[in-house]
Chain A
Amino acid sequence: MRRLLIISLLTFLVLGHAQAAEAKTLRMAYDSDPTSLDPHEQLSGATLQLSHLLFDPLVRFRQDLTIEPRLAKSFEKIDERTTRFHLREGVKFQSGRTLSAEDVVWTFNRLKQSPDFKALFEPFSEARAVDGLTVDLVTKGPYPLVLNLATYIFPMDREFYAGVDERGRPKDAIVKSGSSFASSHASGTGPFIVTEREQGVRLELKRFADYWDKASPGNVDEIVFTPIKEPATRVAALLAGDVDFIAPVPPTDLARVKEASCCTLITMPSTRVLTFELNQERVPAFKDPRVRLAMSYAVNREGIAEKILRGSATAASELSPPGYAGYDPALVPRYDLAKAKALMQEAGYGDGFSVTMMAPNNRYIEDARIAEAVAAMLAKINIKVDLQTMPKAQYWQRFDERAADIMMIGWQSDTQDSANFYEFLAMTPDKATGYGQYNAGNYSNPEVDRLTLETQSMADPKARAEVLKKIERILYDDAALLPLHWQHLSWAARKNVRIDKVVNVIDMPYLGDLVIE
């Protein structure tokens, strides 16, 4: 009897020990730090990345951009304006409460109040709780992107955020500048809970014991995030083994990380396109499509992607990246210097002209060097470019002023859909509707405007894709903008960290599912 007791005790100890040794900690270094724990405060990559850890969306994108059910186990279209979501049963919030349809409605209403998110949810009229576990999302008219937008609905614990904090302010207030309850406290249904946070220095998370997704292969118990701003240091920290996972990897270090035996490097094209806009209001010559085409033919996009970005970009001549409905593989990047010169002659600008160009120098990967290269390429068709680069803090003011003839902009679609590119970059600028907000070229084509608006209410995905492709073709033939490439994303990790399964083109690593071997 006694012997049995000892043996069982020993077994228990050994097993217990083995379990303790299993506790996995991920140390991750990234370039920017989310300023808040409130998922509705700022529409930014950092906020969304964090939201996927502390919260869970109704649905999310898989690696191939198809939709995967999360808190909603299924969804169906009830009529042309209503989509019904069936929630999983027994999903726990980190506060211990159980998720219900009311929480989803509450979260939806809060999104409609958020200065950053309300424009995205403009097509929606309301969210309705049908019963405890069923929610209807109702749109104002037929709207094709309901599911894409549902990836932004990270249900928040409505009772946790109810009432007022110690300073008497409502806990659910969205405060853009200054502190708030929601910016420093969170209760979601996500895989991780914040245990410690010192903004800009470290963020520590531990796994939420009652996380609903028991099928997730993820085995990370603890995450320590450290922002490391300086790219060279970030890479060194990974190579030295001080951290397990870094993002992004600067182009200059890609080869070095790839060759290192300690680490795995993953790169993939992102959905962000980098383009120049040619201001037709400031430069009459840009009104002539032949001039714009000539400029398009003069720029060696492959050369920029290879030489300046060291392969970490895919040359582009359209806005929609592969995987998007509007993407058309037939629209190949142009490059033909002789043709460019001929077009300039034909347009009557054989002797060229002088223009100004502005680009940021710390916003996009190698932005300033790309601008320099394009300026040099345009010089070959006698367009003399006076280039000015500046930090992003100053750049956006100048961009809003349309302060140069040619301006650089990178864009990714918040809806993961092509139409967003056209709405912001290609439609005729209109202060009242907000369309063309980033169309610094002042390109205006009634056909593009009409077709883009048409796609907003097309329910048939196939017919809609045809229209999107048509718009893309018009922009290409017109050389409305001067797209250069889609930037690549890059992540690197120690060999035992299986990041290949959790990274994706939208740059939202799902760390809840991460496996450390």
Chain B
Amino acid sequence: MRAIAAGLAFLGKRLTQAMLVMLAILVIAFAVRTALGDPLREIMGEAVPESEREHLRHELGLDQPWPVQFVGYLGGAVSGDLGTSMIYKRPTLEVVLAKFPASFELVLSASLIVLLLSVPAGVYCAVRPRALGAKLILGFSVLGISIPVFLTGIFLITIFSVWLGVLPAFGRGETVRLGFWETGFLTLDGLKHLILPALTLSSIMLPLFIRLVRGAMLDELGHDYVRTARAKGASPLRVWFAHALRNALLPLVAVGGLQIGTLIAYTLLTETVFQWPGMGFLFLEAVTRADIPLITTYLVFVGLLFVITNTIVDIVSLMLDPRISLEGTR
């Protein structure tokens, strides 16, 4: 009973937090509206007379001060209307949601690559710190962290698309529609298109995570319980993975959750390089073309994503560590 009440309180708190975050984003988005540029410039020809532009500006209510526009927006938001995109000519929420699956699949694949590579590599570097392999891995990760993601992308395209001709250079390829969700996971073509962008995006996080795993493992390996387990005759593999790694995971999950934000930020660059039809690409396009309603909706949506991922991270930490309880998070 107490656990349920605590759970509800936890969710309630997170919900309020989400609302506050989105409201704060909105206020900022509206306050800087005029600095984002003039959307009419992008939807009208250059030679169009000023009077026509003024006319449309008035029609769209863009000539009003931002607090007035803000109140109007909130009024619409209550009934689910978050504005109409200037360049897509459809409700902004619809446009952003339609691009969500592409970005989600990209981030998920990149995270999987990071997870599958960083854990074994990090553990290896921790247990065999002096081995040549460990030095190579660490050296390579320094290299990886210092190359801009944009270059990594172009580099991979040049090798795998232009020279070897084995992987496509851009786009998402063939997709399958499952309800509203358009997935590239179910076709060979879709998976082929996914490889280079996912590798590029993972290259941001991989070096960091290898180092994180290594550091956390080194920490754990120095503890008494590891020595005890070894003394009892447990196999080294069991000690590393079943005992030490489990404890090392805790800080990893916490940091990993925070890094999701970085990953979303880097989808902007990765998606642009690969013409990946996701939210990051959409956002950059909206910014270049000053599609203010679309920019606003994107920001609010990403704010919501942040709160959700942080909530998930908290729940996962809870499951990993019995010492943390819901009451404690209040």
Interface residues of A, Cβ cutoff 8 Å to B: 29, 35-36, 42-44, 115-116, 118-120, 175-180, 183, 198-201, 226-230, 232-233, 236-237, 239-242, 362, 391-394, 396-397, 400, 414, 420, 424, 431, 434, 437-438
Contact = CB atoms under 8 A, between A and B. Distances in A.
Given A42-B45, A115-B52, A183-B89, A396 B37 contact: yes
B47 A424 contact: yes
Contacts of B289: 393
A43 B50 contact: no
Contacts of B288: 362, 391-393
Nearest to B153: A233
Contact of A397 (B38, B43, B46): B38
Contacts of A176: 43-44, 56
Contact of A44 (B45, B52, B169, B171): B45
Pick the 5 closest A-B CB pairs, nearest first: A393-B37, A43-B45, A393-B290, A240-B161, A396-B41
Interface string B32-75: 00111110011111111111100110001000000000000000
B25 interface: no
A240 B37 contact: no
A236 B162 contact: yes
Given A226-B170, A230-B272, A393-B287, A43 B48 contact: yes
Contacts of B244: none
Nearest to A198: B277
Nearest to A240: B161
B198 interface: no
A431 B50 CA distance: 8
B212 interface: no
A200 B169 contact: no
A178 B83 CA distance: 10
B153 to A, nearest CB: 8
Contact of A391 (B37, B46, B50): B37
A1 B44 CA distance: 69
A300 B89 CA distance: 44
A115 B55 contact: yes
Contact of B165 (A175, A201, A240): A240
Nearest to B56: A176
Contacts of A29: 170
Nearest to A260: B162
A176 B40 CA distance: 9
A393 B42 contact: yes
B94 to A, nearest CB: 11
A394 B89 CA distance: 22
A242 B37 contact: no
A434 B50 contact: yes
Given A178-B89, A229-B275, A240 B45 contact: no
A116 B51 CA distance: 11
B47 A396 contact: no
A177 B89 contact: yes
Of B41, B275, B290, the most chain A CB neighbours within 10 A belong to B275
A178 B60 CA distance: 10
B168 interface: yes
17 contacts: A43-B44, A177-B86, A228-B275, A229-B275, A233-B275, A236-B154, A236-B157, A236-B161, A236-B170, A240-B157, A391-B288, A393-B288, A393-B290, A396-B41, A397-B37, A400-B50, A438-B46
Contacts of A437: 47, 49-50
A76 B73 CA distance: 55
Contact of B45 (A116, A198, A200, A242): A116
Contacts of B34: 397
Given A115-B44, A237-B161, A434 B169 contact: no
Given A200-B282, A240-B165, A36 B49 contact: no
Nearest to A437: B50
Nearest to B47: A414
Nearest to B171: A226
B90 interface: yes
Contacts of B48: 43, 115-116, 119
B158 interface: yes
Contacts of B169: 233, 236-237, 240, 242
Contacts of B287: 391, 393
B209 interface: no
Nearest to B293: A177
Nearest to A232: B154
Nearest to B290: A393
A351 to B, nearest CB: 37
A32 to B, nearest CB: 9
B226 interface: no
B277 A233 contact: no
B183 to A, nearest CB: 15
Contacts of A120: 47
Contacts of A198: 277
Nearest to A396: B41
B137 interface: no
Nearest to B86: A177
A431 B49 CA distance: 9
Nearest to B84: A178
A394 B35 contact: yes
A420 to B, nearest CB: 8
A420 B37 CA distance: 27
Nearest to A438: B46
B225 interface: no
Contact of A393 (B41, B56, B158): B41
B87 interface: yes
Contacts of B36: 393-394
B298 interface: no
Nearest to A184: B89
Given A115-B55, A226-B170, A394-B37, A233 B87 contact: no
Contacts of A434: 49-51
A299 B45 CA distance: 30
Given A237-B169, A434-B50, A177 B60 contact: yes
Given A229-B272, A420-B47, 19 more contacts: A36-B89, A176-B56, A201-B171, A230-B272, A230-B275, A233-B275, A236-B158, A237-B170, A242-B169, A242-B170, A391-B288, A392-B37, A393-B37, A393-B290, A394-B290, A396-B38, A400-B50, A431-B50, A437-B49
A114 B306 CA distance: 43
Nearest to B89: A179
Contacts of B60: 177
A43 B47 CA distance: 8
A392 B165 CA distance: 36
B273 interface: yes
A424 B161 CA distance: 46
Contacts of A177: 43, 56, 60, 84, 86, 89
Of A179, A198, A240, A431, the most chain B CB neighbours within 10 A belong to A240
A227 B275 contact: yes
A236 B162 CA distance: 6
A119 B49 contact: yes
B266 interface: no
Nearest to A424: B47
Contacts of B170: 29, 226, 228, 233, 236-237, 242
A94 B290 CA distance: 35
Nearest to B287: A393
Contacts of A438: 46
A234 to B, nearest CB: 8
Interface in B254-304: 272-275, 277, 281-282, 284-285, 287-290
